[in-house]
Structure 1
């Protein structure tokens, strides 16, 4: 199978854009992800798929994390956590209950580890939701390799 063509096919599925944040002994960290899934309401569980090749992969093991759902104005933040860092940070940190999160996100979901599963070249991390908050606004989306605005209208 041509993996590039499969990726192009999956690009036809529009997704939201998140930054998953977590704390380590070295400080506050995160990575951009568009693979967020609600798994269960009772107990409240969410799933994030993490590429085995990124540094964050190992830190997610048995570590609290926060899924920050980005506003459509936070494209620079998404790019920063995707590896295109800038000298001036395009975001601010704030203290969460379990780890740091991004200030001004459209929503956040604070989680503690629940389970992890083999997902081929990814690992599927399931977190139990401990706290969440959301605001009104447009979400940052991703479609066919480009950022888009997702509106409720």
Structure 2
């Protein structure tokens, strides 16, 4: 394995960023509690890894204060956001926001397994314990084993005055902008197995 670093020239680096920006993704907020303090980070670099054992990963910038907190804690939560969670995502992506009480303006509840904050404006939630970490250049790849999983239909309603018409739809991210899902009557779900299911 070649571990040498090969910096890209400026034009290729710009093209690399442009290519990554054209990969549409969902939006998550990853949270952890370290030394009694809540830490949170908006992340689109999140994905599943394995079904057995149940593993997911999130990629964390080494410069982010969340980086050391989640490594120290060893447990974390993931909230997959609904369209209604855009303001929460924007706030928790804002660099330099106060650490203390940063979740005061974000409706949330506590995960039973980890105590991590899980955002109420989510459509699904996971609680994880760190399985392994890997060097990812200027980021760390944090792989977590899932301790608990729930989706909105399984969760108790919080009683908050939230927009119920938007809570069931995912928040998307594309080219530095938030977006929404456009449903088609002829979706993959209705017409047959998805490409992922076909290759399992």
TM surpasses 0.5 = yes
Measure, in 2, the Cα distance between the counterparts of 1:143 and 1:102: 22
In the other structure, the counterpart of 2:21 is 11
Q: Give the stretch that moved more between structures: 123-132 or 54-63.
A: 54-63
Query: In the alignment, is the contact (CA less than 8 A) between 1:21 and 1:99 conserved in 2?
Result: no
Counterpart pick for 1:92 among 73, 98, 107: 107
Counterpart pick for 1:104 among 121, 137, 144: 121
Q: How many equivalent pairs are there?
A: 153
Measure, in 2, the Cα distance between the counterparts of 1:15 and 1:43: 24
Query: In the alignment, is the contact (CA less than 8 A) between 1:72 and 1:138 conserved in 2?
Result: yes
In the other structure, the counterpart of 1:49 is 59
Query: In the alignment, is the contact (CA less than 8 A) between 2:84 and 2:121 conserved in 1?
Result: no
How much has 1:26 moved relative to structure 2? 4.1
More strand by share: 1
Structure 1 residues 22-49: Cα deviation after superposition (integer angstroms, max 9, x where no partner)? 1122422200000111000000000000
Query: In the alignment, is the contact (CA less than 8 A) between 1:138 and 1:151 conserved in 2?
Result: no
How much has 1:59 moved relative to structure 2? 1.1
How much has 1:152 moved relative to structure 2? 5.0
Structure showing greater radius of gyration is 2
TM-score when scaled to structure 2? 0.70
Identify the structure with bigger relative contact order (alpha carbons < 8 Å, sequence gap 6+).
Answer: 1
Residue segments in structure 2 that go unaligned for 5+ positions in a row: 1-7, 154-167, 185-200
Residue segments in structure 1 that go unaligned for 5+ positions in a row: none
How much has 1:120 moved relative to structure 2? 0.6
